[in-house]
Structure 1
Amino acid sequence: MKHCPAEFKADAVALYRSRPGATIRSVAADPGVNTETLRNWIRAADGRRPGAHSAPPVTAWAGDGDIQAEPAAARKRVRELEEERDILREAARYFATETRW
């Protein structure tokens, strides 16, 4: 996969970030990319050079109001995703009973 579309790279990085505690190796297997390739994409998304081992850049100071808005936005997004999940579960149950004889 020498030349991957930017959207594919972004999706692979998002997949890694959506699985807290997962290793890069385990996540890289899903889209079928090399572990080091995914690691470099993650670093690039964080604004770091491939091969650099520094922490990601700090984007907010402790005194900023944005630091408090992030958890609230994250909680809102979690609620939205939970609602979507529940809707999909109900749809799956409905279609499972419809296909039974």
Structure 2
Amino acid sequence: MDFQLSEEQRSLAELAERLGREEFAPKAARWDRNHEYPHANVAVLRRAGLLGMTIPQRFGGPERPLIDAVLAIERIAKYCGVTARIVVETNMGALGCVMAYGTEVQQRETAR
């Protein structure tokens, strides 16, 4: 199987790599050491469009494929595990379960 990333996917991977290296890595040890939630990293992820990438268009999301989320997670995880986990949960984990099995109301509320 010959799998090639699209230009958009390569750009996404490069963005996630840069954010991981420049924004998340310098603070990762502090988050872990102090058992702190990285609220500042969440703000960076939100501005970069890396949260809720897989939310269906009918709920206002971009409905990007899971591979896009995986590309971002893989790059970010090299620098900050907890921040990568946030990307997991906002694209696949709990969000994915609600989008797959929740009621219409639950899906709409979760996508907000």
Q: TM-score, normalised by structure 2?
A: 0.28
Higher relative contact order (CA 8 A, sep 6+): 2
Q: TM-score, normalised by structure 1?
A: 0.29
Write 1 or 2 for the structure with the bigger share of helix: 2
